[in-house]
Amino acid sequence: MVEKQLKGRGIKDTRILKAFESIPRELFLPDHEKRSAYGDFPVSIGLGQTISQPWIVAFMTELLSVEEGMKVLEIGTGSGYQAAILAFLGADLFSIERIPLLAQRANAILKRIGLSVHIVSGDGSLGLVEESPFDRILVTAGAPHVPSSLVNQLKDQGRMVIPVGSRTTQELTLVKKEKGVVSSEPHAFCVFVPFLGKEAWPEE
């Protein structure tokens, strides 16, 4: 996985590569899907959610550019695998998951492997005001636009990575805030489950 899917597609950050080598991805999958843990594709974790393909997790992490000790907000804990990668990199990580059962599962797995992540259940589109501002924000679901609540909770010189587009396809977007000015750069096309919430897609 690391050699072909990550290094082979241009992931260069040695800390990220080490994280992928160190964290057992199969732990974050249901028993009947563990055989697919290292495949080059997203995998269902139940409840209408997926664990993203390894490359997209690595690429989003590299775009985010996390340094040890940074305060990071993740929106969409899901399986907990992306959270594990960020925690391994030394982030002071807060993660929001709207589905309580997934939050509980992820929390149990992360504790089992000795990684510290503050996981809460709630509407990720509103961020986590009481813990803001954040150095970095990572959104792991497809949004119709960049929620203003998240921009407001980003520190100056901060970065956010978020998939933006339709419910079915998005562009991975890097948002930067510098001296109060917010800019965005589109990167790779991607497909994520819809980002549901008050400042995102409404639940159907």
The CA distances from residue 144 to 32, 50, 125, 150, 204, in Å, are 33, 19, 11, 14, 15
DSSP state of 188: E
The pLDDT of residue 1 = 95
pTM of the model: 0.96
Q: Which tokens hold the place of 58? A: 């690595």
52, 79, 95, 125: which is the annotated catalytic residue?
A: 52
What per-residue confidence (pLDDT) applies to 22? 97
Tell me which amino acid residue 161 is. Answer: V
User: Which residues touch 157 (CB under 8 Å, ≥6 apart)?
Assistant: 177, 178
Would you tell me how many other CB atoms lie within 10 Å of the CB of residue 21?
10
Confidence of residue 203 (pLDDT cuts 50, 70, 90): confident
Q: Is the pLDDT of residue 204 over 80?
A: no
pLDDT digits (tens, 9 = 90+) for 127-165: 999 999 999 999 999 999 999 999 999 999 999 999 999
Give pLDDT tens digits for 40-61: 999 999 999 999 999 999 999 9
CA 166 to chain centre: 18
State yes or no: is 65 an active-site residue: no
Q: Find the mean pLDDT for residues 107-133.
A: 97
On the question of pLDDT at 180 being above 90, the answer is no
Whether residue 201 contacts residue 148, with contact meaning beta carbons closer than 8 Å, is answered with no
Q: Are 66 and 92 in contact (CB under 8 A)?
A: no
Determine the CATH number of domain 2-190. Answer: 3.40.50.150
User: Domain map of the chain by residue range?
Assistant: 2-190
pLDDT at residue 24 greater than cutoff 90: yes
Kindly state the average pLDDT of the residues 95-102: 97
Which run of H or of E encompasses 86? helix 81-88
Whether the bond between 30 and the residue before it is cis, its omega within 30 degrees of 0, is no
Structure tokens at 157: 């010189």
Tokens in use for 69?
A: 């000790």
What number is the average pLDDT over the span 164-182? 96
pLDDT at 34 over 80: yes
Contact 137, 160 (CB under 8 A): yes
Give the dihedral sign, CA 127/130/134/136: negative
What is the mean predicted confidence (pLDDT) over 22-49? 95
The predicted-structure confidence for 52-93, as pLDDT tens digits, reads as follows 999 999 999 999 999 999 999 999 999 999 999 999 999 999
Strands (E), 98-146: 118-121, 134-139
Looking at the DSSP bridge assignments, the partners of residue 177 are 182
Per the rule left: phi > 0, alpha: psi between -120 and 50, beta: everything else, 58 is alpha
Q: Cα separation of 141 and 155, whole Å?
A: 22
Q: What's the mean per-residue pLDDT of the chain?
A: 96
